[in-house]
Amino acid sequence: MTTTATRPAARSTDRPRGGRSRWAATVRALPWLGPTLLLMAGVVFFPAGYMAWTSFRDLSQFGVDNGPAGLDNYARLLEFTALPRVLLNTVVWVVGVVVVTVLLSLGLAQFLDKAFPGRRFVRLTIIVPWAASVVMTTTVVYYGLDPFYGIINAFLVDVGLLDQPYGFTRNAVPAFFTAMGIAVFVSLPFTTYTLLAGLQTIPDDVREAAQMDGAGPWATYRRIILPLLRPALAVATIINIINVFNSLPILQVITGSIPGYNADTTTTLIFKFIRADRQIDTASALSIVNFLIVLAVILVYLKVVKPMRED
C-alpha cells in the first residue's frame, strides 16, 4: 500500500533534488525493514530505554517505584569506595583477555591455514570449546582447582609442583587470572575462525608477488598479510571486546564466593548490586555507565586503529 502511494509522488518531484528521492527510497524500503526495526525496538531499544529510565528512579528492593531519584543513583556509584579497583579489574580483564585471545588466534589461524595431514581434525578440536556451554567449561575448571577434591590441584601436588593444595579459586588475584585464562580459552574458537576466514580471502598471487619481490616470510606477514587481514581483525576484536566486557558467567562461577570486590568487574558488580545489596536502581545506573564505557572503548578503537581504513 505504502509503495504504490509513494511511487507516483517520487516520480512527480524534480529528479535532481537527490535528498528528496533518497528519502522516498527509504520510505519504499520501510515495509521490508519493518520487521527488523520492530524486533530491534522490542528486544534492544525498549529494554535499554527502560533500564535508562529505571536508573533515574528510586526503586524499593522489591521493585516498587517510589518516584524520581534524579542523579542519586549515579551519585551512589561515585561514592562506592571499591569502584577504582573494580574499574582497574575491568580494564585488566578486557585488555588482557582480548589481546591474548587475538594474538593466540593469529597464530592458530596461520597454522590452520596451512595444509597438513589431519588438519580437519585439528580444526574440529579448536571449535569444541565453542560448542560447550561456558558455564560447563568453567565449572569443570572450578572443580578441578578445588583444594579439597580437585584433580588439577591433586595433580600439581603429586608431581611435586605444590607442597599442598592451593586455593586458586579461593583468593581474589589467582582466581581472577584463572577466570581470564578460561575467558581466553572460550574466546579462541570464534576469533580463530574469523581470522582464518580472513586469511582465506587473501589470494595466493599476492603472497607469490611478495616472494618474487624478495620479501621474507616475516616481512610478507607484516607488510602484506596483516594489512589484508585488517577487516577480519577488526570484527574479531570489536566482538570480543563487547563479549568479554559483558561476560558474567565465568567470573560468577570462579570468583562468586570470594568476599569483597577485589575480583569484580563492572559487570559482576551490577549483579552484586542487584542480588546482595538489593539496589535495582543503582544497578541500572551502573549498567548505563557500563554501556557508555563499552561504547567509548569501541569508538576509541575505531578512531585510533582505523581498522576499516581501505588503503
Partner 1 sequence: MRRLVSLTAATMAAGLALTACGFGGDDGGSGDGGSDGGGSTSLDLLVPQYSDGTTALWDEIIASFEEANPDITVNLEVQSWDNINDVIRTKVQAGEAPDILNIDAFSGFAKDDLLYPADEVVSEDTFGDFQESFVDNASLDGTVYGLPMIASARALFYNEDVLAQAGITEPPATWEDLLAAGSAISALGTGVYGYGMPLGSEEAQAETSIWTFGGGGSWTDGDAITVETPENLAAVEFMKRMIDEGATQPDPGATDRTPMLDVFIQGSIAMAVGLPPTIGQIEERNPALNYGIAPVPTQDGSPVTLGVADHLMAFRNDDDKQDAIRAFLDHFFSTEVYLSFVDTEGFLPTTKSGAEGTANAERFADFLALLPDAQFYPSTNEAWAATQGALQNLLGQIQTQDAVSVLQQIQASADNA
Contact characters 291-310, partner 1, x per CB under 8 A: x--xx--xx--x-----x--
Contacts of 186 (CB under 8 A, 6+ apart): 129, 130, 134, 137, 250
Nearest to 152 by CA among 172, 171, 178, 132: 178
Task: Return the C-alpha cell found at 21.
Answer: 528521492
Select from 48, 128, 151, 300 the one that contacts partner 1 (CB under 8 A). 48
> Count residues contacting partner 1 (CB under 8 A)?
56
Please list every residue from 138 through 157 that binds partner 1, using CB under 8 A.
146-149
Cell numbers for 231, please give them: 577487516
From the list 61, 133, 200, 201, which residue makes contact with partner 1 (rule: CB under 8 A)?
Answer: 61
Which spans in the chain are helix H?
Answer: 2-12, 18-40, 46-54, 72-79, 83-113, 119-131, 134-144, 151-158, 172-200, 204-212, 217-219, 226-245, 249-255, 266-275, 280-305
- Does 243 bind partner 1 (CB under 8 A)? Our answer is yes
Q: Is the Cβ of residue 226 or residue 292 nearer to partner 1 in the bound state?
A: 292
Tell the residue number behind the cell numbers 575480583, with chain if given: 263
Reported residue count of the chain is 311
- Of residues 10, 83, 154, 242, which one binds partner 1 by CB under 8 A? 242
User: Which range in 127-135, 181-189, 195-203, 276-284 contacts partner 1 by CB under 8 A?
Assistant: 276-284
For 309, phi then psi, to 5°, come to -60, 135
When the beta carbons of 152 and 298 are compared against partner 1, the nearer one is 298
Does residue 237 bind partner 1 (CB under 8 A)? no
Dist CA 60 CA 98 (whole Å): 38
Does 68 bind partner 1 (CB under 8 A)? Our answer is: no
The yes or no reply on residue 277 touching partner 1 (CB under 8 A) is yes
**One residue of 29, 37, 40, 99 binding partner 1 per CB under 8 A:** 40
Sign of the CA dihedral running 203, 211, 224, 98: positive
Provide, rounded to whole angstroms, the least separation between the CB of residue 247 and partner 1: 9
- Longest Cα separation, the chain: 86
Stretch that binds partner 1, among 37-45, 117-125, 205-213, 214-222 (CB under 8 A): 37-45
CB of 189 to partner 1, least distance (A): 18
Q: Is 10 in the site for partner 1 (CB under 8 A)?
A: no
> What's the CA angle centered on 36, arms 33 and 42, to 5 degrees?
135
Contact region for partner 1 (CB under 8 A) — 6-14, 15-23, 83-91, 253-261? 253-261
Question: 3-class DSSP state for residue 311?
Answer: coil
- Footprint of partner 1 on this chain (CB under 8 A)? 40, 43-48, 50-51, 59-64, 76, 146-149, 167, 169-171, 175, 234, 238-239, 242-243, 246, 256-261, 270, 272, 274-280, 283, 287, 290-291, 294-295, 298-299, 302, 308
